[in-house]
Amino acid sequence: MLAARETPTRRAELAAAVELLSAAGIPTARVDAEWLLAAVLGAGRFEAQLDLDRVLPAPVAERYEMAIRRRARREPLQQILGWEAFRGLRVRVTADVLVPRPETETLVEWTLELLPAQKGGVRLRALDLGTGSGAIACSLAAERSDVDVIAIDVSLTAAVVARENARQLGLAGRVRVVAGDLADSLGRVRADLIVSNPPYLPSALVGGLEPEVRSHEPRVALDGGSDGLTLIRRIVGASREALRPSAALVLETAGGDQAAVVAEILRAAGFTSVAVRADLAGIDRFVAGRA
């Protein structure tokens, strides 16, 4: 038990958890401790705060302590909870996939704007390259009922997570997950839009990331090669053949100077109407162009 009492209350356990997480250098110690308390209680975060003087049963206290100690070792909160919220969906998260980030919700928003309108009842097809958890693919399918999504990832274990998310969200009929290399998977597919949040960090930067990222998230989803652009160049090259005329390619980048470089890569590859959009912090991060 975290608190030094035989019959600890929720309040005492929560206070002890916050102290432990703060000592581990976690800036969101209170919020994380509340989420983990809610998880072991099987309640919502705010519901778990309603009766803090109630005694926490020993088995629950033990599960709470285990969860808190995992977080103190800098394991991501979302991996301990097993999920993350993304555009109104609850997406399953494991150590095999990146934790979906809030800025990627902005990528999806722009992607939805760039998807063409359905014509003549013909269903649209979108590709999500490097799908990871499937958060982007599932969001597109959930928010556009006229779109089928092919979600591709080189990682077999990531593909399993993406398939499970599509199934749990009732989208398996419209989200097809493919495990394979980018070029091999595209083949003769023709798409009305391609979106990707690829690995875009220069290799030298990965070791300096926060422990939650560098030690607990898959490097293959982070490391974009020596300049961070290895996969992005491949995606741009492969997308020209896979996109229908005037269809859009939408990419997330590391932001700032890299976004400007990626915009030039698209222009050099023959894409038109190339544009850059900022993330929630006002940093130019997303790049799009039309085939």
Domain of residue 182, residue span? 94-290
Task: Say yes or no: 45 and 114 in one domain.
Answer: no
Task: List per-residue pLDDT tens for the chain, 291 residues long.
Answer: 575 556 689 899 999 999 999 999 999 999 999 999 999 999 888 888 888 888 889 899 999 999 999 999 999 999 999 999 999 999 999 999 999 999 999 999 999 999 998 887 789 999 999 999 999 999 999 999 999 999 999 999 999 999 999 999 999 999 999 998 876 667 678 999 999 999 999 999 999 999 999 999 999 999 999 999 999 999 999 998 899 999 999 999 999 999 999 999 999 999 999 999 999 999 999 999 999
Task: Say yes or no: 55 and 103 in one domain.
Answer: no
Final residue of a structural domain among 43, 73, 103: 73
d(CA 126, CA 111): 10
Task: Establish if 238 belongs to a structural domain.
Answer: yes
Task: Say yes or no: 101 and 240 in one domain.
Answer: yes
Is residue 151 within a helix (H) or strand (E), and if so which, with residue range? strand 147-153
Q: Cα-atom radius of gyration of the chain, to the nearest Å?
A: 21
Could you identify the residue written with the tokens 């975290």?
Answer: 2
As for how many domains the chain has, the answer is: 2
Task: Say yes or no: 98 and 24 in one domain.
Answer: no
d(CA 143, CA 205): 35
Task: Say yes or no: 189 and 285 in one domain.
Answer: yes
Strand segments, DSSP code E, in 19-96 are 83-86, 89-92
Task: Establish if 168 belongs to a structural domain.
Answer: yes
d(CA 267, CA 274): 7
Task: Say yes or no: 273 and 145 in one domain.
Answer: yes
Q: Could you tell me the two tokens for 85?
A: 């919220």
Task: Say yes or no: 235 and 140 in one domain.
Answer: yes
d(CA 41, CA 17): 15
Count of CB atoms situated within 10 Å of the CB of 51: 12
d(CA 253, CA 287): 8
Cα separations in angstroms, 88 against 2, 136, 138, 217: 33, 12, 11, 23
Task: Establish if 2 belongs to a structural domain.
Answer: no
